[in-house]
Amino acid sequence: MSKLFEPISLGGLTLPNRIVIAPMCQYSSDEGKATSWHHAHLGQLSFSGAGLLILEATAVEAAGRISAQDLGLWDDETEAALKGLVDGLRENSNIPLGLQLGHAGRKASHAAPWKGGAQIPQSAGGWQTVAPSALPFAEGTEAPVALSAERISELKKAYVDSVRRADRLGFDLLELHGAHGYLLHQFLSPLSNQRTDQYGGSLENRMRLLLEIFQEIRAAFPADKPIGVRISATDWVEGGWDLEQSVELAKALDKLGCSYIHVSSGGLSQHQKITVGPNYQVPFADSIKQHVKMPVIAVGLITEPEQAEAIVGTGQADMIALARGILYNPRWPWHAAAKLGAKVYAPKQYWRSEPHSVKGLFLPE
């Protein structure tokens, strides 16, 4: 029996297998509103047979978008557009749906990757960015404004408001984005956080905002619905956020009832030095798993079914997440199930595609 295709429970939500589609920014929204691209893109992924589909990083306020084309959930218009998307997905697929909530902080106001990805200054149509400290992400770019205590309170409210909207929309799960150099990661790392108040300095202080926001959104979302957190386990820069600190954060989240932790890395500094290869982030997930009760998701260059099976089967992580790999092959879970002798959910309209060599591959939704 394949461990990868065993069910797993996150709070009151049971996933049919341990394959997660990670959040992937599409830079294709209209002033925060989902568009026809999202219907097409997420529609095909909803037929993938994965255990969970998490929508891309969704900004809790307009200033928190990475680009002007980022998805958002901060007002009635963005909520209405997302409702049309969710309703369309639900009509055709039973895949559990998650939403990642985030704020880009000093990495906001950037162009889409295919337009170079550079920061757009205010003089060219960009906007003022914010951060824990007035330190720019890259040399030669506009500095962010350090968040005041008042703005931090407003930010917490924005997260809670977005959570309530997400619940109305019927999302099964939420993920708090604390990774990849965005705002909550900026508070965690001493490279970007040089505050002298209760949100800066010691590890306890640098973790404070993420933990406070987690508690507030946990209280605002139904208790039976899971909320997880995505982190970067290391900045890959000496003197920055690292695995030891990530373990302490994970232990603190575990005590607060976090449903899972999704372990990535990097994104905070242009000085990062990453040696990329298959499973290159899995040891971080494995190390964190030794210290927490909650499930752990591993992600990063996991491309082969046998590779994913080994990660879960040996207990290095409880789930694996796919991003670029499932964009390249949106039926990856089907192929993995066929190779591992497992079964996978597929829409009835596609049952005829079942290969002769793997009869009984598809389960009815």
27, 159, 182, 260: which one is catalytic? Answer: 182
Cα–Cα distance measured from residue 296 to residue 293, given in angstroms and rounded to the nearest whole number: 9
Question: Is 182 annotated in the active site?
Answer: yes
CB burial readout 212-247, b (16+ within 10 A) else e: ebbeebbebbeeebbbbbbbbbbbbbeebbbeebbb
Give, in order, the Cα–Cα distances in Å from 334 to each of 54, 188, 338, 348.
18, 38, 6, 14
What are the φ/ψ torsions at residue 347 (nearest 5 degrees)? -65, 145
Cα–Cα distance measured from residue 311 to residue 145, given in angstroms and rounded to the nearest whole number: 42
Q: SS3 for 80-109, per residue? A: HHHHHHHHHHHHHCCCCEEEEEECCHHHCC
Do 7 and 14 meet the contact criterion of CB atoms below 8 Å apart?
yes
Catalytic residues: 182
